[in-house]
Amino acid sequence: MSDKDLEQRGINVIRGLAMDAPQAANAGHPGTAMALAPLAHVLWTRVMRYDPTDPAWPDRDRFVLSNGHACILLYSMLHLTGYDLSLEELRNFRQLHSRTAGHPESRHVKGVEVTTGPLGQGVGNGVGLGIAERILRSRFGPELVDHHTFVLCGDGDLMEGVSHEAASLAGHLGLGRLVYVYDDNHITIDGPTEIALSDDPVRRFEAYGWHTEDVGEIANDTDALEAALRRAMAVEDKPSLIVLRTHIGYPSPHLTDTSKAHGSPLGEEEVRETKEILGLPPGETFYIPDDVAEMYRRAGARGAATRSAWQDRFDAWGGPRAEWDAAWSGGGLPGWEDLLPTWEQPGEQVATRHSINKVLNALAPKLPGLVAGAADLTGNTGTLLDGAELQSREHPAGRAVAYGVREHAMGAAMNGMALHGGVLPVGGTFFVFSDYMRPSVRLAALSGAKVVYFWSHDSVGLGEDGPTHQPIEQLAAMRAMPGLRLIRPADANESAHALRVAVERDGPTALCLSRQAVPVLPGTAQLAREGVERGAYVLVHGDDDPDVVLIGTGSEVSVCVEAAEVLAGDGISARVVSMPSWDLFDEQDDDYQDRVLGPGSPILSVEAASSFGWARWADDSVAIDHFGECGPGAAVLADLGFSAGDVAERARALLDELDGIDYDDDDEEDA
């Protein structure tokens, strides 16, 4: 059998797996995987550098399947080339507790670089992967970092808005070594793409500053596919888009170029007839003959020599090894925590968005992987790195990224940067606009990507921009997201340790930061280190058996401290608890939680946001369960009841309700 014949048998086997897995699951997307089987074959056997025995090898090429519904294609290639993904897992496609979920997840399968599913996210992830590669190559040298990123995307990806933002950013940055293949199959679930799409992708991406090539009807020509990929790989000064015309479901006799081939199993009879066309045993499922298995195992094994040569270069490398190790761990050089600033003077007024910027710049010299930027709000969100060069064609090692007004792209790119490794991305925007990046935040949480969000202007305290810019429900919404660590620091000292926690811990961390100045609180210089790490702590003790416990977060903690003083004047003992993070507090044992919250005293939470969820911790809440108001921030907060007097009054009312005791100022005898 000639090499060409064996290659074709391999491609046909991939198509067989693409039919069999959805058919066995009675769910899935066979058609795209069938059409792209030749491209996948070329990538894994002729083009990409990888080593299945060391899937985390730093200088491997990265592959992103943005049209993640075609995941059986990726799973098939990983199995065939020798990754730790058994044929049994392919048989269990989409089944409970299998590793082969209906869209690829990076935490479950080695060889899946990023978690894609919501269309367009992989397009943005690829941009982040490209940024990370360029920064690391410029910093540590091409002998250690010299790889490409390959992204497959489809019509749905390029319809979603995130792809437009990401493509525009990538073109502006001139990110070479990015090779995207657009699977132009003209089919969506609702029907032909023409019912909703008339874009010219070549002209659009050219306008974004990409190298583009419409290669037409070469989807089954392996030599032509390889040539197109290599032409794109040679472009160093801009990202590349290859437009490939494919026929979804090919060579199904009745379902090629149909919507059914996109989103549903083909059906047993159609699978049988298609296998006959392909020369596969029609009655056998998950068929992989020995010669095909050997061909793909050989292709996978070739990477071991490349990786070994890289390891030799790395072992002989005389560069900054400690910086390399710290960057790839997502952490800091020895002693980085000693650089944390402390604010010793209680009462000093400083917005947490400003204190966090001081912390960021203090730590930056010892966080070699740190890359920071914002969605056009760098100075506003605390993400400005003093003296750092902007990431650009001219400054490929730049640690500052100007994302522009592109929250969607920023979130997706940050995931790509983090999952690439070697980069600790910090990105900022106003908290209310976290809604724009929420799909990417969710995927960061699902993936365990180590990203850090600076979400500033975190309450109605931002003032005059009004309700459209004032977050109300965002705290509750983000707290509801599994895997996202959300911290709302009360003052400068808490913000310092919030960033420390973000660097020390794995997974995504969001810091919610005030626009307005807040006072440095007495005790936080000593207590914030442990207090933030544990999610909540007692800031003002009051009596051992306080009459009431006031829990505050962020800028409202200082209001609780003042309210406790007002209540003390009435003979009411109030404990003040700062609770910067529900997530971290929830990790603590019952004993610690009981010690913080007190021995059964009534609890009043104080937070300038929705009350949703506070019933878990508090008996009543000073909150905002409606949209905000336009006006100076201090006036808005006062108008909505966030003053010491208002909080004290609500505490009295809570005690009156629970204990039947009247604590009115003008009725001291009853009190």
Distance from the Cα of residue 597 to its chain's centroid: 33
Specify whether the CB–CB gap between 560 and 647 falls below 8 A.
yes
Detail the DSSP E strand segments found in 309-391. Answer: 349-350, 370-374
Non-local (6+) Cβ contacts of 277 within 8 A are: 251, 253
Nearest CA to 221 out of 91, 37, 371 is that of: 37
Which residue do the tokens 């066309």 mark?
A: 277
Cis peptide bond prior to 251, omega within 30° of 0:
yes
Of the candidates 270, 407, 556, 607, the residue annotated as catalytic is 407
Q: What is the DSSP letter of 390?
A: B
How many Cβ atoms from other residues are within 10 Å of residue 199's Cβ?
12
CA torsion, ordered 126, 80, 90, 450, to nearest 10 deg: -30
How many Cβ atoms from other residues are within 10 Å of residue 121's Cβ?
29
Specify whether the CB–CB gap between 561 and 540 falls below 8 A.
yes
3-state secondary structure 149-186: EEEEEEHHHHHCHHHHHHHHHHHHHCCCCEEEEEEECC
How many Cβ atoms from other residues are within 10 Å of residue 527's Cβ?
18
Going 563 to 565 to 571 to 573, the CA torsion angle's sign is: positive
Catalytic residue status for 533? no
Letter string b/e over residues 584-594, b meaning 16 or more CB atoms within 10 A of that residue's CB: bbeebeeeebe
**Could you give the residue numbers annotated as active site?**
407
